[in-house]
Amino acid sequence: MQETTFNELADLALRQSGQSIPASKSYLMEARLSTIARRENFATLDDLVHCLKARPNPRFEQEVAAALTGKSTSFFGDRELLDKIVGQALPKRLEYSKTGRLRVWCAGVSTGQEAWSLAILLREAVGSPLANAEIEIIGTDLSTLCIETAKQGVYGHFDVQKGLSIHRLMTNFDRHDNGDWSVKPDLQKQVSFRRHNLLEPARDLGQFDIVMCCNVLNGLAKGAQQQVVETLSAHLLPDAFLFAGTGEDLQGISPSIKPSRALRGAFERDISVKKTEAA
């Protein structure tokens, strides 16, 4: 890969997703873009970048930027966090809900497995107070292609065998003749997906009881991390919970959030920041 190609791709990643890729990790670009390059018949990444410059295509740029993030996802990939959300965070929010309606935002959801996993756990919460709650899950991602996959809810033979027990697969998916599996229609009613870049405001998303953002912040430039956290925190209802993935730390990224007093490991919007700014 030529140095100019690396620079173009690094600039694209930073511009589109806030990701910072140092020159020492140029090999990651080769690995992460190999599938797209092969599919689009580019012999080298130099050819791919040349095409991007010669014939600008916003959708393809998005796809390249999304591939550069290298986010891998699987069903129940962060089981510890999902258990905490279903076992603790949502029941706490339900206690204070007057309507029995709760909203969850899965930010950076890639091809949707995280959102479907949450929906499956909620479906299994028979006997819990959550069984009677109306819980809406919204997944967003930078990549139009990923969101299209998530919306279809159709996953291949290998995808459904990583993280899903056979019992959960049979209960929540229908098998197609070609060997793919699709999320059952009743589960699909609970989850919706839309494209959104976390570096941009999301005015029409509304406010949430839970915002989860797993494996997104690692690898972002510092300024981009702060921007993303501020976007996320702006959509938290009062005392609502913000979670990063297990092992990721939100501490110190933005003054807009602070550790939750109600739930260890969660963060909440720091309303004193706004008040101080206003004063």
Partner 1 sequence: MKHCLIVDDSRVVRTVAGRIVKDLSFSVSEAADGAQALEMCRTEMPDAILLDWNMPVMNGLDFLRALRREEKGQEPIVVFCTNENDSEHISEAIRAGANEYIMKPFDADIVESKFAEVGLV
Residues that bind partner 1 (CB under 8 A): 157-158, 161-163, 165-167, 170, 175, 179
Comparing CB distances to partner 1, the nearer of 185 and 252 is 185
CB of residue 95 vs partner 1: minimum separation in angstroms? 32
CB of residue 159 vs partner 1: minimum separation in angstroms? 10
Contact 114, 192 (CB under 8 A): no
CB of residue 163 vs partner 1: minimum separation in angstroms? 6
Task: Name the H helices within the chain.
Answer: 3-17, 26-39, 45-54, 58-69, 79-84, 90-95, 113-123, 144-152, 166-172, 185-188, 222-233, 271-278
Q: How is 55-101 classified by DSSP, letter by letter? A: S--HHHHHHHHHHHHT----TTTTHHHHHHIIIIIHHHHHHT-SSSE
Comparing CB distances to partner 1, the nearer of 150 and 160 is 160
Comparing CB distances to partner 1, the nearer of 38 and 175 is 175
CB of residue 162 vs partner 1: minimum separation in angstroms? 5
Contact 48, 42 (CB under 8 A): yes
Contact 153, 109 (CB under 8 A): no
Comparing CB distances to partner 1, the nearer of 192 and 246 is 246
- Return the closest-CA partner of residue 190 out of 118, 239, 84: 118
Comparing CB distances to partner 1, the nearer of 167 and 275 is 167
CB of residue 250 vs partner 1: minimum separation in angstroms? 28
